[in-house]
């Protein structure tokens, strides 16, 4: 479960040299007023502007357990994905955004996990990728999701490569062999030190009658920023790829 303002702050912090524009899906607020806090920090999605950007990120959303077809703005997201495919700009998909994009482009199915995958874990690099340059085996990253993409389908699809998994086999990153500008990230590496704690507290506050899993390998009282190096390295790598792609496209 995500906080829109915090999400914007996090991406602004991890991409300090980028000139960022934030959008929200129009269909999400169809026939209702856009909340003031949303209107103040973001714009309604304008797919006609996709060609203006050098890179595009689709973030997570707290809708892991909802079928894609039941997401009110799924068709708007699919139109956006179609436009991104047309212009070949660098694309980074996070968590639910990665699930929706991988389902649209490759037909990979989403599977609901028995319990929330939540905490901080070491990872194994299984297929090297430019975005992982500088990260060593065992690199640390956080996860917070209720679903996973079907790994068997991914492994049987020659268009896709699993680049890294956690020590329990959960996906960290999948890249597209047929479209190297597409990368799917299942970890919330944009999160700050307190983000897992804040997410846990938001869930407890929203539904105090439910029992929620606490994040593993992470202290709610004295959290540590164990994935800071992963965050810095990964986003620096992606920003460099965006700059290189821009030079190629401009040429």
Task: Return the exposure string of 198-209: e unless at least 16 CB atoms fall within 10 Å of the residue's CB, then b.
Answer: bbbebbeeeeee
pLDDT digits (tens, 9 = 90+) for 158-191: 999 999 999 999 999 999 999 999 999 999 999 9
Residue 26, marked binder: no
Which of 2, 123, 143, 188 is the catalytic position? 188
pLDDT at 113 > cutoff 90: yes
Mean pLDDT, to the nearest integer, of 28-52? Answer: 89
Give the residue numbers spanning the domain of 27: 4-250
pLDDT value at residue 1? 44
Asked if 63 contacts 83 with a C-beta cutoff of 8 angstroms, the reply is: no
pLDDT value at residue 245? 85
Verify whether residue 188 is a known catalytic residue.
yes
The C-alpha atoms of residue 79 and residue 85 are separated, in whole angstroms, by 10
Asked if 184 contacts 102 with a C-beta cutoff of 8 angstroms, the reply is: yes
Q: Which two tokens stand for residue 214?
A: 């606490």
pLDDT value at residue 247? 67
Asked if 68 contacts 81 with a C-beta cutoff of 8 angstroms, the reply is: no
Mean pLDDT, to the nearest integer, of 29-57? Answer: 90
Q: Which two tokens stand for residue 100?
A: 């929706």
Mean pLDDT of the chain: 94
The CA-based angle 214-215-218, given to 5 degrees, is 125
Which of 95, 148, 181, 199 is the catalytic position? 95
pLDDT digits (tens, 9 = 90+) for 68-112: 999 999 999 999 999 999 999 999 999 999 999 999 999 999 999
Q: Alpha-carbon torsion 223, 229, 232, 237, what sign?
A: negative
Beta bridge mates, 119: 143, 216
Which of 190, 199, 203, 241 is the catalytic position? 190
Residue 202, marked binder: yes
pLDDT value at residue 246? 75
Output the domain CATH number for residue 131.
3.40.50.880
pLDDT at 249 > cutoff 60: no
Select from 82, 72, 88, 76 the least CA-distant residue to 45: 76
Higher pLDDT, 157 or 248: 157
Question: How many domains are there within the chain?
Answer: 1
- Going by pLDDT thresholds of 50, 70 and 90, the confidence category of residue 32 is confident
**DSSP assignment of 71-110, as one string?**
STTHHHHHHHHHHHHHHT-EEEEETHHHHHHHHHHH-PPE
């Amino acid at each position: 479960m995500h906080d829109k303002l915090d999400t914007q702050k996090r991406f602004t912090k991890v991409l300090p040299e980028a000139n960022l524009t934030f959008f929200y899906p129009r269909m999400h607020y169809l026939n209702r007023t856009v909340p003031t806090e949303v209107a103040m920090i973001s714009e309604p999605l304008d797919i006609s502007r996709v060609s203006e950007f050098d890179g595009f990120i689709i973030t997570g959303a707290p809708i892991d357990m909802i079928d894609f077809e039941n997401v009110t703005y799924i068709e708007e997201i699919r139109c956006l994905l179609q436009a991104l495919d047309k212009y070949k700009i660098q694309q980074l998909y996070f968590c639910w955004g990665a699930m929706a994009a991988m389902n649209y482009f490759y037909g990979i199915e989403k599977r609901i996990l028995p319990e929330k995958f939540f905490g901080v874990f070491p990872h194994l690099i299984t297929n090297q990728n430019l975005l992982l340059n500088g990260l060593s085996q065992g690199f640390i990253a956080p996860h917070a999701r209720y679903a996973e993409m079907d790994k068997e389908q991914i492994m049987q699809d020659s268009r896709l490569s699993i680049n890294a998994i956690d020590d329990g086999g959960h996906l960290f990153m999948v890249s597209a062999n047929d479209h190297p500008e597409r990368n799917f990230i299942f970890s919330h590496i944009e999160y700050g030190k307190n983000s897992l704690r804040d997410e846990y507290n938001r869930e407890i506050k929203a539904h105090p009658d439910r029992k929620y899993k606490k994040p593993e390998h992470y202290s709610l009282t004295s959290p540590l920023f164990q994935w800071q190096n992963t965050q810095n390295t990964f986003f620096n790598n992606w920003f460099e790829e965006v700059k290189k792609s821009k030079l190629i496209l401009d040429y």
